[in-house]
């Protein structure tokens, strides 16, 4: 499989696309304004110590001081809880982050642990909210692709979501052999099935990163940033680049230089795969990514055979409907259904990855009668899903042709990242028909005429509604005037939406 990564960088937004065999399969987006503080490391200065609440305020050079609890202060002999990472939010959800927390126990009084004006290395564990500053911890953790490195802690943990006991034991044995002195490790969920060489490569990167942070800390002034969590294109270097990735194309000279420097320092085997793209035509256009993104924002996706699939994303689940449409090339209905379903499978998996749809997914395939066709369909689906980086699980194919499956949520879906709720339909996907709006206008005209004294009423609406009132509904308007014994004046206004109108009493 040929894999290329495309990096599109602008001052306000970075986008990364994973292209497999010429087709964009995954898209990641990070907007500069929405980048957070979580994961950043600072040389903090303790401002105030509050023994009454076992907490302190720490100046990290921002407008608001950070909040540090006693339980988040590293102490000799402190163990780190084996706490599997929750998913990161929206834009940077492409990387599974890991938080560490101290084991629940009694801590010494905070005034015996830190003092005012003391300099202390801290890491942001929670973003600031409203008027509250960021929550801090001195239990520093560095997330790699497969491992999390815990400087100063003699501990090995396995992500709780790796449930198979044999796999947990295998990973524990592998990590025990490579664990460095003076540091602990947590094995992340994505390490499931990985070999020791891959884990060791990830650990080497983390150890080099930690050495770099320690060196910066020696020269850092009080209340200053020591390490900033990687932006999208550098996280991509850390998390996305594997043996399958042949080339990485970058359309920004500055980003290319930074990625090249990062690769030479931490991932030297990747440096020769980086290429600067100087072309005038946008890189996402050249590879057809922009077109794929536009397709992924539509509810209906056409199939080459003439069939189509319809994808609806709800709060509870993803519903996908397969339709044969105009496909009539097969000799029998069974053959038509089978061929359409097979074609739909690859498109469905492609759309799941591209749109990053997760949670419960129900696919309504076209009904088939032959068991062999059903068996083959499930085999093709499983094979297509094997290329998906997100963890998936197929429940079964029901007698009605419904396939229930789950796909792990890794970040916000593409649609919810790029789209907002339609102000006209309020996310229903439909708007009221013209005749419905006309009849609603009639009801409100009657209500207004009866409630308030007037000689005439003016209806102001979108031109298409006024045209209908003057045309197909003109008899209804005349009948309403006779019924109310009042004149009804019709006026169009292009500034109004089709569903908005005004009734003015005169």
Whether the per-residue pLDDT at 300 is higher than 50: the answer is: yes
Statement to judge: residues 54 and 188 lie in one domain:
yes
| Among 16-20, 346-350, 401-405, the least confident range | 401-405
Calculate the alpha carbon distances from 269 to 201, 242, 243 in Å: 11, 10, 10
Does the pLDDT value for residue 85 go beyond 50? no
Please tell me the total count of domains within the chain.
3
pLDDT at 97 over 80: no
Beta bridge partners of 487: 456
Which of the residue ranges 20-34, 102-116, 285-299, 326-340 would you say has the lowest mean pLDDT? 102-116
pLDDT exceeds cutoff 70 at 106: no
Show the CA angle centred on residue 169, arms to residues 168 and 170, nearest 5°: 90
Domain presence at residue 129: yes
- Residue 221 sits in the same domain as residue 152: yes
The token pair that represents 82 in the structure block: 């084996």
d(C-alpha 417, C-alpha 314), whole Å: 15
% of the chain exceeding 70 in pLDDT: 92
As a whole number, the mean pLDDT across the chain is 87
Residue 184 shares a structural domain with residue 304: no
Q: How confident is the model at residue 80 (pLDDT cuts 50, 70, 90)?
A: very low
Q: What is the pLDDT of residue 102?
A: 36
Q: Is residue 389 classed exposed, middle or buried when 0-12, 13-18 and 19+ CB atoms within 10 A define those classes?
A: middle
For residue range 203-234, list pLDDT tens digits in order: 998 999 999 999 999 999 999 999 988 899 99
Decide if 407 contacts 352 (C-beta within 8 A).
yes
Q: How far apart are the first and last CA of the chain?
A: 72
Those residues with Cβ within 8 angstroms of residue 405's Cβ, 6 or more apart along the chain or in another chain: 360, 361, 362, 363, 392, 393, 394, 395
Surface-to-core class of residue 21, CB atoms within 10 Å of its CB (0-12 exposed, 13-18 middle, 19+ buried): exposed
Are 194 and 325 part of one and the same domain? Answer: no
Average pLDDT over residues 19-33: 91
441 and 318 inside one domain: no
Which of the pair, 429 or 120, is modelled with greater confidence?
120
Mean pLDDT of 76-94: 38
Q: Is the full-model pTM beyond 0.75?
A: no
Highest mean pLDDT among 158-162, 265-269, 326-330: 158-162
| Closest to 462 (Cα-Cα) out of 422, 491, 440, 487 | 491
Please state, in angstroms and rounded to a whole number, the distance separating the CA atoms of residues 255 and 245.
18
Do 185 and 215 belong together in one domain? yes
pLDDT, one tens digit per residue, over 313-362 is 887 899 999 998 776 666 788 888 999 999 999 999 999 999 999 999 99
Domain boundary residue among 204, 230, 256? 230
* Share above pLDDT 90 across residues of the chain, in percent, rounded to a whole number: 63
Backbone torsions φ then ψ of 18, nearest 5 degrees:
-100, 120
> Are 458 and 395 in a shared domain?
no
User: In terms of domains, do 451 and 493 share one?
Assistant: yes
Paired tokens of 373: 């066709």
Residue 91 pLDDT class (50, 70, 90 cuts): very low
Residue 85 lies in a domain: yes
Which tokens is 183 given?
């540091």
Q: What domain range includes position 381? A: 299-413
| Residue 106, domain CATH | 2.40.50.140
The model's confidence at residue 94, banded by pLDDT at 50, 70 and 90, is very low
């Amino acid at each position: 499989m040929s894999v290329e990564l495309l990096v599109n960088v602008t001052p306000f937004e970075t986008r990364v696309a994973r292209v497999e065999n010429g087709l964009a399969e995954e898209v990641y987006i990070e907007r500069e304004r929405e980048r957070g503080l979580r994961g950043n490391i600072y040389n903090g200065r303790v401002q105030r110590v509050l023994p009454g609440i076992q907490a302190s305020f720490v100046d990290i050079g921002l407008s608001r001081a950070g909040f540090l609890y006693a339980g988040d202060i590293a102490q000799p002999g402190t163990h780190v809880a084996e706490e599997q990472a929750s998913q990161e939010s929206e834009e940077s959800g492409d990387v599974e982050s890991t938080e560490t927390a101290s084991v629940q126990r009694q801590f010494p009084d905070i005034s015996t642990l830190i003092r005012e004006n003391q300099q202390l290395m801290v890491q942001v564990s929670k973003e600031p909210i409203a008027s509250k500053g960021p929550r801090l911890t001195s239990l520093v953790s560095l997330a790699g692709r497969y491992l999390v490195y815990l400087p100063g802690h003699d501990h090995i943990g396995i992500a709780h979501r790796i449930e198979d006991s044999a796999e947990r034991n295998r990973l524990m044995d592998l990590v025990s052999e490579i664990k460095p002195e003076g540091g602990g490790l947590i094995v992340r969920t994505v390490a499931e099935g990985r070999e020791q060489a891959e884990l060791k490569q990830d650990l080497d990167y983390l150890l080099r990163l930690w050495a770099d942070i320690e060196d910066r800390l020696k020269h850092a002034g009080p209340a200053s940033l020591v390490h900033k969590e990687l932006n999208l294109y550098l996280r991509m270097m850390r998390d996305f680049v594997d043996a399958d990735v042949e080339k990485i194309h970058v359309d920004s000279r500055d980003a290319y230089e930074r990625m090249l420097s990062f690769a030479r320092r931490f991932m030297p085997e990747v440096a020769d795969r980086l290429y600067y793209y100087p072309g005038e035509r946008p890189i996402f256009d050249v590879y057809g990514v922009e077109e794929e993104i536009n397709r992924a924002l539509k509810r209906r996706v056409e199939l080459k055979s003439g069939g189509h699939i319809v994808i609806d994303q709800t709060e509870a689940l993803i519903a996908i409907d397969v339709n044969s449409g105009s496909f009539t090339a097969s000799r029998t209905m069974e053959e038509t259904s089978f061929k359409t379903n097979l074609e739909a499978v690859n498109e469905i998996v492609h759309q799941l990855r591209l749109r990053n749809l997760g949670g419960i997914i129900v696919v309504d395939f076209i009904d088939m009668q032959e068991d062999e066709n059903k068996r083959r369909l499930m085999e093709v689906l499983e094979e297509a899903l094997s290329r998906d980086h997100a963890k998936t699980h197929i429940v079964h194919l029901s007698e009605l042709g419904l396939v229930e499956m789950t796909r792990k949520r890794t970040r916000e879906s593409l649609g919810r990242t790029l789209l907002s709720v339609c102000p006209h339909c309020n996310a229903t996907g439909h708007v009221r028909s013209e005749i419905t709006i006309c009849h609603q206008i009639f009801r409100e005209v009657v209500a207004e005429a009866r409630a308030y004294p007037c000689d005439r009423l003016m209806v102001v609406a979108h031109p298409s509604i006024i045209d209908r009132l003057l045309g197909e509904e003109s008899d209804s308007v005349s009948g309403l005037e006779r019924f109310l014994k009042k004149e009804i004046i019709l006026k169009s206004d292009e500034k109004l939406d089709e569903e908005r109108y005004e009734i003015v009493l005169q």
